[in-house]
Structure 1
Amino acid sequence: MDDASLNAGPLNAGPPITDSARDFAAALPEGGALLALDLGTKTIGIALCDAGWRFATAGKTLERGKFGRDRDTLAAICRERSVRGVVIGLPRNMDGSEGSRAQASRAYARNLSAALDLPILLWDERWSTVSAERSLIEQDMSRGKRKERIDSHAAAVILQAAIDALAGASI
């Protein structure tokens, strides 16, 4: 693994948590469905992709609760859909630095990796919500429906960007 890997050494044995598409692809040698999360303070947007890493599809939006409840819901989705890895949006500042929200996402990733025993890719989510909103507006979706669906569509934008990078990393 390269310097982008966030898990290194014997103290962090288990599935990798990385921001490198190449390292994440290596942890998934047989491919498999992926789950993406757009972590908000009140909700979690969910998206899934097929085992061939071609298309990201917006799923549902979960009301964020205690980690144990969220973990159980996400574990059930992973079992149902045979998920082999998780992509979590990493909210970087516009200058690329990381603030408290990014630190919270990294902590969530560590807890989720341990709970699900799945590799996790942290993916830069800058502009994902803006892109998702534009797409929903282009679909002539009402403001109320956009509010309900924006988080899951942002997760799909994050996931599509990640699987596009994974396709290049696995060549």
Structure 2
Amino acid sequence: MSATVIAFDFGLRHIGTAIGLRLTGQARPLMALKACDGVPNWQQLATLLHTWQPETLVVGLPLNMDGSEQPLTQSARQFASTLQTHCALPVRLHDERLSTVEARARLFEQGGYRALSKSQVDNLAATIILESWLALPPLPAPS
């Protein structure tokens, strides 16, 4: 069984992606997928999944700082549901609060304003989401 996990930083126009390994708990950015109203090119996404063969997918769940839902939250839930239908893989939602803020800060530190391209921010946010998810204790196996 593969220990590979792919995470998504959902957005209406761009969806950042990252890949990581359960064994190491480390993640790295992959590529940004263009989206139209939150709908990615499913063929491009299928190619990504075929290439990396993940065991689990993680979708960042955008929440307000107080934990309440925001308008984008339901769209992210719908993306996760459709992703599970398309891919027949387990899809986990994970709190993504402050991931974009942290991504922007890391990129700015590395290269100033020029490093803040939308795709780099989205992909690094997906990486931060995945690192946070990988740091959680594993869920018990279903009985």
Global fold match (TM > 0.5):
yes
1:43 is aligned to 2:14: yes
Q: How far has the Cα of 1:78 moved from its partner?
A: 1.0
1:119 is aligned to 2:86: no
Deviations 1:32-57 (A, max 9, x none): 21111001121110100135252110
- 1:146 maps to 116
Amino acid in structure 2 at the alignment position of 1:104: S
Deviations 1:46-85 (A, max 9, x none): 1001352521101111221373x52221111111111111
Q: Give the Cα separation in 1 of the matches to 2:2 and 2:133.
A: 13
Q: Of 110, 123, 126, which residue of structure 2 is paired with 1:155?
A: 126
- Structure 2 vs 1, CA of residues 170 and 113 (structure 1 numbering), >3 Å: closer, same or farther? closer
Displacement over 3 Å in runs of 4+: none
Amino acid in structure 1 at the alignment position of 2:89: L
Tell which deviates more after alignment, 88-97 or 50-59.
Answer: 50-59
Confirm or deny: 8 A CA contact 2:22 2:134 kept in the other structure. no
Q: Point out where structure 1 has 5 or more consecutive residues left out of the alignment.
A: 1-29
Percent of residue pairs identical? 30
Q: How far has the Cα of 1:144 moved from its partner?
A: 3.2
- 1:33 maps to 4
1:61 is aligned to 2:32: yes
- Compare CA radii of gyration and give the structure with the larger one: 1
CA-based RMSD of the aligned residues comes to 1.8
Confirm or deny: 8 A CA contact 1:33 1:53 kept in the other structure. no
Q: Give the Cα separation in 1 of the matches to 2:86 and 2:68.
A: 28
Q: Give the Cα separation in 2 of the matches to 1:90 and 1:170.
A: 18
How many residues are treated as equivalent by the alignment? 138
Tell which deviates more after alignment, 50-59 or 101-110.
Answer: 50-59
- 2:100 maps to 129
Q: Give the Cα separation in 1 of the matches to 2:24 and 2:55.
A: 11
Deviations 1:75-112 (A, max 9, x none): 11111111111100100111101122111111111111
Confirm or deny: 8 A CA contact 1:91 1:101 kept in the other structure. yes
